[in-house]
Amino acid sequence: MSGIKSSVNLLRVAVRSQIVSKAALSHKPAKHHISAGEQAIALTAFFVTILGPSGYVLAHMEDYKHHS
């Protein structure tokens, strides 16, 4: 029974001692305004970078199956 109490006490100390830091958020407006065109170009670049290779692999899935 004392083993259970000591393990519970250790868990309490571990949970109590965790320090949660707050994120450094700023309430100021943005320094540089980004136009809608620049946002569109950036989003397009992200989508092509992320979805391009996966789309290529999925489009050629049958080639990978028959090649092995």
Please state whether 42 falls in left (phi above 0), alpha (psi between -120 and 50) or beta: alpha
CA distance 47 to 36: 16
Q: Is the pTM for the entire model greater than 0.75?
A: no
pLDDT tens digit sequence for 16-34: 666 666 666 667 787 888 9
Phi and psi at 19, nearest 5°, equal: -105, 125
CA distance 49 to 43: 10
Residue 52 CB contacts under 8 Å (≥ 6 apart), including other chains: none
Confidence class for position 43, pLDDT limits 50, 70, 90 = very high
Q: Which two tokens stand for residue 61?
A: 């899935």
